[in-house]
Structure 1
Amino acid sequence: MSEQQKLTMGPLLYNWPAEKKRDFYYQVADEAPVDVVYIGEVTCSKRTPFFTPYIPDICERLEASGKKVVLSSLALVMSGRERGELSDLTSGCPWEIEANDLSAISLLSGKPHVVGPFVNLYNEGTLDYFYQNGATRIVLPCELPVDSIAKLSARASGREIEIQAFGRLPLALSARCYHARSHNLSKDGCLYVCENDPDGMDVATMDGDPFLAVNGTHTMSHTVNNLLGELRDLSGLGVTHFRLWPHDADMVKVAEVYRRTLDGDDDLERSSADLERLVTFAPFSNGFYHAVEGTRMVE
């Protein structure tokens, strides 16, 4: 496959203890075969103060290992404090920024930035607008089928396009915190209970069937998106970057599986078996790509 194709590690969406997050990024810096690492709080600004002191050292270590650093912005900006933090991030940050809502895109107008997967983008006109606004790369929404990905990639004409290739998918955002409500707590008095679920809290139907996952204000897929078998086709369509969402698993090994597949390893059966051993908390799916129910795994 082309040398232009990059493997990326998306921002950590879950609430891990700050020291665990630090050690995770240190390990990614030292061992993971990824080209780009996104870092920053996307889900809940209440988590931000615990981890922020570690970010400069982590970025330095990532860059020393040859990885490009991108700082990810909050996906839902609601308060004056959050607007102020976003303004500070977009005005004085030495690293490229992933804009995850339209307010960040507005503040970054004319500056190089990445458009994140939380921004709705479903047609060529919107794609053109974001590139003209300064986007260097666009991360497509997770629910797009292959036909839509093909059209948008063709319109990109060689400009960078990123696909979410592994991990639970962020499906929706809310001003309410379902994680807190599930423990009879308010959002302001949540006691950070989301820390108890390092890969999100499973949600079941009335019949007890696994359905979704909750991560603070994010509604996630229950299944783990796995586009390992689709990497070759996506590369042929012109996709340049492939995102791995971090999970409480051996992400270095996950990255190694995806890296060798991107590099041309045709033993998909072996790679898929390796991935199944690494991910035990939920089944795989790739339904959105194949234009069927997102929870399905099309072989």
Structure 2
Amino acid sequence: MDLTIAPNPFFWNAESVRRFYAGLANAPVARVVVGELVCSKRLPFWQNEIPQAVALLQAAGKQVALTSLSLITLKRERKLTADLMDMDLPLEVNDLSALHHIPAGQPFWVGPLVNVYNEGTLRWLARRGAARICLPPELPMPAIAVLAQVAQAEGVALEVWGHGRLPLAISGRCYHARLHERAKDSCQFVCEQDPDGRDVDTLEGQQFLTVNGVQTLSQSYACMAEYVTQYQDMGVTALRLQPQSAGFHAICHDYAQLLAGELPAHALIEALNAAHPGMQFCDGYGRDGAGANWHHRTAPA
């Protein structure tokens, strides 16, 4: 079992993107997905960093793929998706309409925003050319176990969500623009003010969600460290980590040590708590189906 880095869903400036991927070149991860996942309007601000990031990561021995947008609606977005095929890299599909641009039989990856909920869907994608599939993070453990068996039979590498705010929904409307009383077409890119998304509480002050432009995320950060042994026993081949603006490279090292058996889960979680005081964690999908719950014990049983 190894580590995959998800595409960064947030809007960072070009310099931040450059530093992030330069650091990842030295991180103990096997593969990285790059590109714009959430909003095509952001891409011109940092797209010139993509070729350099790809070159650095490949030189460091990482597999690299490009993500499709999570919601492809405009003619220019369809052209952007088609143009990704000229990059000579695997395409990670996060909107099934991207398959229109992938010739039958050409390998591709499937991201967690595609609803691979059952055996039939996984088999269909595998026979369409899917070489790697990251399951949606809300799947319960028994479902993952069944899909892992099917993935092995079909020769597909299977990933699960390991760390980061959970992707919940994509909308045609921009929450950041609306919050600042701006139209989506004149948003002035206010989402850049929130490099890890903007927290949203209920009217009663209860922590609830995080908004990131047109995307809705969980406010808490999933940390599935205590379930790694179960995933390994099921045959899951990779754990996916989602980028965040602070301390991410240390997080990669900790999870790599966890997978290698050099760091127990409780120590990883204690390290996260120490490095990110006030950060809320969740792991409910691994146990009782209520994703926002957190079951971690501060010491091993």
Normalised TM-score (structure 1): 0.95
Q: In structure 2, what residue type is equivalent to 1:249?
A: A
Q: In structure 2, what residue type is equivalent to 1:271?
A: L
* In structure 2, C-alpha distance between the alignment counterparts of 1:292 and 1:119, rounded to whole Å: 19
Q: Which residue of 2 aligns with 1:93?
A: 87
Q: Which residue of 1 aligns with 2:283?
A: 286
Partner secondary structure for residue 59 of structure 1: helix
Q: Does 1:36 align with 2:43?
A: no
Partner secondary structure for residue 45 of structure 1: coil
Give how far 1:281 is off.
5.4
Aligned pair in 2 of structure 1 residues 281, 10: CA closer, same or farther (>3 Å)?
farther
Give how far 1:13 is off.
0.4
Give how far 1:122 is off.
0.6
Q: Which residue of 2 aligns with 1:139?
A: 134
Q: Any gaps of 5 or more consecutive residues in structure 2?
A: 297-301
Q: Which residue of 1 aligns with 2:187?
A: 190
Give how far 1:269 is off.
2.5
Give how far 1:266 is off.
5.3
* In structure 2, C-alpha distance between the alignment counterparts of 1:159 and 1:168, rounded to whole Å: 25
Q: Number of residues paired by the alignment? A: 293
Aligned-pair identity (%): 41
Is contact 2:200-2:211 (8 Å) kept?
yes
Q: Does 1:209 align with 2:203?
A: no
Partner secondary structure for residue 42 of structure 2: helix
Question: 2:74 is matched with which residue: 72, 79, 83?
Answer: 79
Aligned pair in 2 of structure 1 residues 85, 281: CA closer, same or farther (>3 Å)?
farther
Partner secondary structure for residue 83 of structure 2: helix
Partner secondary structure for residue 285 of structure 2: coil
Q: In structure 2, what residue type is equivalent to 1:37?
A: V
Q: In structure 1, what residue type is equivalent to 2:71?
A: L
Q: Does 1:25 align with 2:21?
A: yes
Runs of 4 or more above 3 Å deviation: none
Q: Any gaps of 5 or more consecutive residues in structure 1?
A: none
Question: 2:52 is matched with which residue: 31, 49, 57?
Answer: 57
Q: Which residue of 1 aligns with 2:262?
A: 265
* In structure 1, C-alpha distance between the alignment counterparts of 2:156 and 2:114, rounded to whole Å: 18
Give how far 1:127 is off.
0.3
Q: In structure 1, what residue type is equivalent to 2:135?
A: L
Give how far 1:147 is off.
0.8
Give how far 1:107 is off.
2.1
Aligned pair in 2 of structure 1 residues 98, 265: CA closer, same or farther (>3 Å)?
same
Partner secondary structure for residue 24 of structure 1: helix
* In structure 2, C-alpha distance between the alignment counterparts of 1:281 and 1:137, rounded to whole Å: 34
Q: Which residue of 1 aligns with 2:246?
A: 249
* In structure 2, C-alpha distance between the alignment counterparts of 1:252 and 1:169, rounded to whole Å: 19
Q: Which residue of 1 aligns with 2:101?
A: 107
Deviations 1:84-135 (A, max 9, x none): 1111113x12111101111112322321110111111110000000000000
Is contact 1:145-1:290 (8 Å) kept?
yes
Give how far 1:154 is off.
1.1
Is contact 2:226-2:266 (8 Å) kept?
no
Is contact 1:254-1:278 (8 Å) kept?
no
Q: Does 1:177 align with 2:171?
A: no
Which deviates more from structure 2 when the two are superposed, residues 150-159 or residues 54-63? Answer: 150-159
